[in-house]
Amino acid sequence: MPNSAKKPVVIVTRKLPDVVETRMKELFDARLNVDDTPMSQADLVEAVQVADVLVPTVTDRIDRSVISQAGSQLRLIANFGTGVDNVDLDTANNRAVAVTNTPGVLTEDTADMTMALILAVPRRLVEGAALLKDPNNQWKGWSPTGMLGHRIYGKRLGIVGMGRIGQAVAERARAFGLQIHYHSRRRMPDEFEQRLEATHWESLDQMLSRMDIVSVNCPHTPATYHLLSARRLRLLKPTAYIVNTARGEVIDENELARLIESNSIAGAGLDVFEHEPAINPKLLQSNRVVALPHMGSATIEGRIDMGEKVILNIKTFLDGHAPPDRVHPAMF
């Protein structure tokens, strides 16, 4: 039977896992980016002039200029990702373009990566591995004072942002014997605080000055831009470590680099950067920094789940129902 109904045009800005793309091609008039070349602002404008639905990622800046040049057929921006700081939510809302994201499905992977960095930096995992892989391998065997790092058991972990990922980090960290502290817009229920023996700090400043490890797990919003400002970073103890798997913009990266360079903090585990893909070179030069290429949610399972969520949001929306992961400007 010929299908005379025109399928909605769905433009996907980056290459997604094959199974996700196959399903999108079945359901929609999907325009895919097979060679994964990031789209320029001009490409994005061209896309929103023909797409019914745009599927961008963190690498696309869907700003006021792009959205205001969209054709009237654009009705949904179904972000492939949880953070929506790449989308101008207010402009989308004013133009009656709905926005959805993919919460929940990358919580565990991102929390795992956070925990990996919490272990890797104080225990010098990357330095140790590099020592053996160095073609001029200088390792002379075990020594009582070789490769000494710092114990994490019993140390104070301060989690900035106790949303889904913050909570998943807290659960893991507790099992490793860390003391859980947190600063968050919303205080957690008593049950959570009691079970994890978690201490809530009303004052971020006070928490920062007392922590051994700080983990950033809040979204990037206008309110959290440089939340860890130069002033606040200077409150950290010189023995403190900082881990960020959220967004680079939450930390003043240049000040962090200065503090690392001057030994004013002990180290950093960074999966995200303020001006990706650019990274302050001082961070890359330091042995006390473990830097990763924004791979917190980079598991094939997670990326397929994210694609599934994108498809579900598009389908539900186009069928005339409220998509499960609709984002409203007031939520951020």
Measured from the CB atom, the residue of 58 and 211 that comes closer to ligand 8YV is 58
Tally the residues of the chain. 332
Is 213 a binding residue for ligand 8YV by CB under 6 A? The answer is no
Find all residues with CB under 8 Å of 247, minimum gap 6, and list them.
83, 85, 216, 219, 220, 224, 272
**Closest among 215, 263, 272 to 237, alpha carbons compared:** 263
Q: Is 276 a catalytic residue?
A: yes
Chain positions 38 to 57 lying near ligand 8YV, rule: CB under 6 A, are: 57
Is 81 a binding residue for ligand 8YV by CB under 6 A? The answer is yes
Q: Is 247 a catalytic residue?
A: yes
Find all residues with CB under 8 Å of 227, minimum gap 6, and list them.
160, 204, 218, 250, 251
CA–CA distances in Å: residue 306 to residues 20, 78, 79, 102: 9, 11, 9, 6
Q: Which of 58, 78, 113, 227 binds ligand 8YV (CB under 6 A)?
A: 58
Q: Is 294 a catalytic residue?
A: yes
Q: Which of 83, 158, 163, 269 binds ligand 8YV (CB under 6 A)?
A: 83
Select which of 124, 183, 220, 247 is catalytic: 247
d(CA 55, CA 12): 5
Applying CB under 6 A, the span of 75-83, 182-190, 197-205, 251-259 interacting with ligand 8YV comes to 75-83
Whether cis (ω within 30° of 0) applies to the bond prior to 222 is: no
Chain positions 286 to 305 lying near ligand 8YV, rule: CB under 6 A, are: 296-297
Measured from the CB atom, the residue of 114 and 179 that comes closer to ligand 8YV is 114
Q: Which of 51, 106, 121, 188 binds ligand 8YV (CB under 6 A)?
A: 106
Phi first, then psi, for residue 238 (nearest 5°) are -65, -15
Binding stretches for ligand 8YV (CB under 6 A) = 57-58, 80-83, 106, 296-297
